[in-house]
Amino acid sequence: MGVASGLVVGFFIGAGGIGVTLLGVIADNYGVPAAMKCIGVLPVAGLMLTMLLRYPVAERVKEAFSG
C-alpha cells in the first residue's frame, strides 16, 4: 500500500513539475494571458476525458448490490 501511494504521489508531483514548465514556456512565448487560458482549458479537457469512461452494465450493478 505504501509503495503504491508513493508511486502515485511521485507521479503527480512530477506531472505538476512538467505542467508548470510547459506553462512557463507558453507564458514566455505568448504572454501570461495565454498561459492562463491554457489553465482554463484543462478542466474542460478533463470533463471530455470523463465522458470516455464506460458505465457498468445495469445487471452487474444489481448483482453487486443484491448480496
38-55 tens-digit pLDDT: 999 999 999 999 999 887
| pLDDT at position 67 | 64
In the structure grid, which three cell numbers stand for residue 56, read together? 457498468
Q: Is the pLDDT of residue 56 over 80?
A: no
Q: Is the pLDDT of residue 13 over 80?
A: yes
Q: Is the pLDDT of residue 18 over 90?
A: yes
In this prediction, what percent of the chain has a pLDDT beyond 70?
Answer: 97
Closest-CA residue to 21 (of 38, 46, 3): 38
| pLDDT at position 54 | 82
